[in-house]
Structure 1
Amino acid sequence: MAERYSSFTPGGTMWLLQRVTAAFLVVVLAFHFFLLHFVNHADEVSFLASSARMETLSYYSLMVLFLVTATFHGVNGVYNALINQGLTGRKKQLIKGALILASIVLIVQGIRTANAWAGGFPL
């Protein structure tokens, strides 16, 4: 019988964060689909309407939290998948650094974009 292998320590912090972020993403994606595919149909979605939604602090905050959560969840998943495939040593450190740098760039650019759509929240 094959043994189960995972780079996540069951019950560890990263294991827990991966599950919590997954649950959060499911809820936010459901909200997204409901709001933008059932309440507002595709022909009603416009840049102006999106900008108006982003001007409300609650929607803006949810989208920024969604950005940070999705980035963490995705990068953490990719990193652990690579470790599960046997990534070790110097390559592991280089990949980790590259993923952290890519995450920072993605989050900063995402917040800049959200700020532009929201009319310039000072963040």
Structure 2
Amino acid sequence: MAERYSSFDSNGSLWLIQRITAAFLIVVLAFHFFLLHFVNHASEITFAGSQYRMQDLGYYSLMVLFLITATFHGVNGVYNAVTNQGITGTPKTVVKWVLIVASLLLIVQGIRTANALAGIGLY
């Protein structure tokens, strides 16, 4: 039988966080689909409606947390997939830092967009 290899240490914190973020994402995605595809149909979604929803602190907070969680979950998964392919040394370090910088840029731009939709200005 083939040997199972994973870069995840099943006793490590990143392994646990990956599973927790997966569970959170399933719940938030279900909420998203229910709200934006069943309660409101695609033809009823407007920019003004998005602005209105983002002005609610609970919705805004959930969307920002969703952004951060999805970014971590996705980037951590990509990093571990690359690691599982056997990348080591300098290339592994370069991939890690490129993913970290891309994640930070994505989160910053996502929060800027959420702030703009919510009418939150940084003066």
Q: With the length of structure 2 as denominator, give the TM-score of the two structures.
A: 0.97
Pairwise CA RMSD:
0.8
1:60-86 per-residue CA deviation (whole Å, 9 max, x = no partner) reads 000000000000000000000000000
Report deviation, 1:11. 2.4
Residue number in structure 1 paired with 2:72: 72
Q: Do structure 1's residue 93 and structure 2's residue 93 form an aligned pair?
A: yes
Residue number in structure 2 paired with 1:45: 45
Matched residue type, 1:55: Q
**Structure-2 change in CA distance of 1:121 and 1:63 (3 Å):** farther
Matched residue type, 1:3: E
CA–CA distance in 2 between the matches of 1:37 and 1:100?
Answer: 32
Q: Percent identity?
A: 70
Q: How many residues were matched structurally?
A: 122
Report deviation, 1:38. 0.6
Residue number in structure 2 paired with 1:29: 29
Matched residue type, 2:65: L
- For the residue of structure 2 that corresponds to 1:87, the secondary structure is coil
Report deviation, 1:121. 5.7
Q: After TM superposition, what 4+ stretches of structure 1 lie above 3 angstroms from structure 2? A: none
1:94-117 per-residue CA deviation (whole Å, 9 max, x = no partner) reads 110000000000000000000000
